[in-house]
């Protein structure tokens, strides 16, 4: 449904012009009571509007609801002359009837000015000029008999008559229905305030809409097929990557096994004793506490170090700093 807002007023604007503001937290703890007026006429748009306004708020079961929970009401009033809808939001108050203003003040814990009275009875039976709302309360048009006990001063016992007072909370809105459409800007127009189509135009619009729907369905299926194809290709690529990783792992394992086999053939995997290695390198046995744990070494490393040691010793013997030069073939 598409509405046009003719006029509106904010809640703060409505409350600010009131002499006595009736707002408190408990008012908004429960959902309001929805009241529809003049929506029972002929026309599909009226039934749809009434159904929409009712479904905007949680349903209230009148058989099981507690009257203490109903603190607000929402009014939707339809004007068939110009097709506008008025929205109003009120707070519900109950007051005892056939009671003077002084007694009402006492019930509300508001002590009036008693300095000009000779007796308390003057406050009870004194005739006062009633306001318009108080006069309506005493007329009986808005008087009800409470079926339940309420936690309101002056209305505690069930069966007592009370007057209903409505205090506006706001906001205010004046709406006008423009059109009713099945989908969001892409469906059959069920009602339009200004445009009316012929049967031929309606059939043409419906055929075009069906064609667009078929094209959308076709595009959706193609997109789903493409997505499925991409997912299958992704799975295949993943499987190929896993197979390549397995081949690589098996190749590395084979190379390692081959390397170990070669070491075994060369005798490189035989461990040497650290004590023997120390005696061979240094020339005497090590102390007893030098090697706490035996350490495995390769014989290849030992042979290489031995060759380096031999080179150092030969240099010290045949160097330029005082030693004899090694004999060459020419000297011989």
90 with 155, same domain?
Answer: yes
Residue 330 has pLDDT above 50, yes or no: no
Mean pLDDT of 132-156: 59
- Residue 76 belongs to some domain of the structure: yes
Which has more confidence, 142 or 168? 168
Mean pLDDT of 101-129: 66
Listed range (34-43, 46-55, 296-305) with the worst mean pLDDT: 296-305
Identify the band that residue 257 occupies on the pLDDT scale cut at 50, 70 and 90: confident
Residue 207 has pLDDT above 80, yes or no: yes
47 with 187, same domain?
Answer: yes
- Residue-range definition of the domain harbouring residue 46: 2-97+140-192
Identify the band that residue 22 occupies on the pLDDT scale cut at 50, 70 and 90: confident
Q: What pLDDT is stored for residue 296 in this prediction?
A: 52
- Residue 259 belongs to some domain of the structure: no
Q: What pLDDT is stored for residue 270 in this prediction?
A: 44
**C-alpha closest to that of 164 among 145, 149, 142:** 142
Count CA atoms closer than 13 A to 92's CA, side-chain side.
Answer: 21
Cβ atoms of 80 and 37 closer than 8 Å: no
**C-alpha closest to that of 159 among 172, 149, 171, 145:** 145
- Residue 92 belongs to some domain of the structure: yes
- Residue 117 belongs to some domain of the structure: no
187 with 223, same domain?
Answer: no
DSSP 332: -
87 with 148, same domain?
Answer: yes
300 with 219, same domain?
Answer: no
- Residue 236 belongs to some domain of the structure: no
67 with 150, same domain?
Answer: yes
SS3 state of residue 163: strand
Q: What pLDDT is stored for residue 136 in this prediction?
A: 54
Which has more confidence, 257 or 85? 85
Q: What pLDDT is stored for residue 227 in this prediction?
A: 94
Cross-strand partners of 78: 85
Which has more confidence, 51 or 264? 51
- Residue 110 belongs to some domain of the structure: no
What proportion of the chain, given as a percentage, has pLDDT over 90? 23
Identify the band that residue 317 occupies on the pLDDT scale cut at 50, 70 and 90: very low
Please, which residues have CB within 8 angstroms of residue 114's CB and are 6 or more apart in sequence?
120, 123
294 with 222, same domain?
Answer: no
Q: What pLDDT is stored for residue 150 in this prediction?
A: 64
**C-alpha closest to that of 152 among 100, 112, 111, 108:** 108
Identify the band that residue 106 occupies on the pLDDT scale cut at 50, 70 and 90: low
203 with 307, same domain?
Answer: no
Please, which residues have CB within 8 angstroms of residue 316's CB and are 6 or more apart in sequence?
323
Identify the band that residue 56 occupies on the pLDDT scale cut at 50, 70 and 90: very high
Residue 246 has pLDDT above 80, yes or no: yes
Q: What pLDDT is stored for residue 299 in this prediction?
A: 52
Identify the band that residue 147 occupies on the pLDDT scale cut at 50, 70 and 90: low
Cβ atoms of 123 and 112 closer than 8 Å: yes
217 with 307, same domain?
Answer: no
Q: What pLDDT is stored for residue 95 in this prediction?
A: 75
296 with 154, same domain?
Answer: no
82 with 158, same domain?
Answer: yes
Identify the band that residue 102 occupies on the pLDDT scale cut at 50, 70 and 90: low
Q: What pLDDT is stored for residue 209 in this prediction?
A: 84
Domain count, the chain: 3
Q: What pLDDT is stored for residue 135 in this prediction?
A: 46
54 with 144, same domain?
Answer: yes
- Residue 128 belongs to some domain of the structure: no
- Residue 208 belongs to some domain of the structure: yes
Q: What pLDDT is stored for residue 253 in this prediction?
A: 82
Mean pLDDT of 82-92: 92
Residue owning tokens 């009633």: 130
């Amino acid at each position: 449904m598409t509405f046009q807002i003719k006029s509106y007023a904010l809640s703060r604007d409505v409350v600010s012009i009131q002499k006595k503001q009736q707002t408190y937290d408990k008012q908004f703890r429960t959902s309001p009571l929805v009241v529809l007026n003049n929506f029972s006429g002929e026309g599909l748009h009226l039934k749809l509007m009434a159904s929409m306004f009712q479904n905007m708020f949680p349903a209230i079961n009148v058989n099981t609801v507690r009257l203490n929970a109903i603190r607000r009401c929402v009014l939707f009033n339809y004007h068939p002359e110009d097709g506008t809808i008025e929205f109003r939001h009120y707070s519900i108050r109950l007051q005892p009837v056939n009671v003077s203003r002084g007694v009402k003040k006492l019930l509300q814990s508001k002590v009036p000015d008693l300095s000009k009275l000779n007796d308390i009875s003057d406050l009870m039976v004194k005739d006062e000029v009633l306001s318009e709302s108080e006069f309506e309360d005493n007329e009986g048009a808005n008087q009800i008999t409470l079926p339940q006990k309420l936690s309101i001063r002056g209305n505690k016992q069930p069966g007592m008559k009370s007057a209903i007072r409505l205090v506006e909370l706001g906001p205010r809105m004046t709406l006008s229905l423009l059109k009713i459409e099945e989908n969001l800007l892409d469906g059959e127009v069920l009602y339009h305030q200004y445009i009316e189509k012929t049967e031929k135009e309606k059939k043409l619009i419906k055929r075009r809409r069906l064609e667009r729907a078929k094209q959308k369905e076709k595009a959706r299926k193609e997109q789903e097929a493409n997505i499925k194809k991409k997912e299958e290709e992704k799975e295949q690529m993943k499987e190929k990557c896993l197979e390549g990783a397995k081949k690589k792992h098996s190749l590395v394992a084979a190379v390692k096994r081959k390397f170990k086999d070669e070491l075994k053939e060369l005798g490189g995997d035989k461990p040497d004793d650290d004590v023997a290695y120390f005696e061979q390198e240094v020339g005497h046995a090590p102390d007893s506490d030098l090697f706490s744990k035996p350490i495995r070494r390769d014989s290849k490393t030992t042979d290489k170090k031995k060759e380096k040691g031999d080179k150092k010793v030969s240099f010290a013997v045949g160097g330029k700093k005082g030693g004899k030069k090694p004999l060459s073939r020419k000297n011989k």
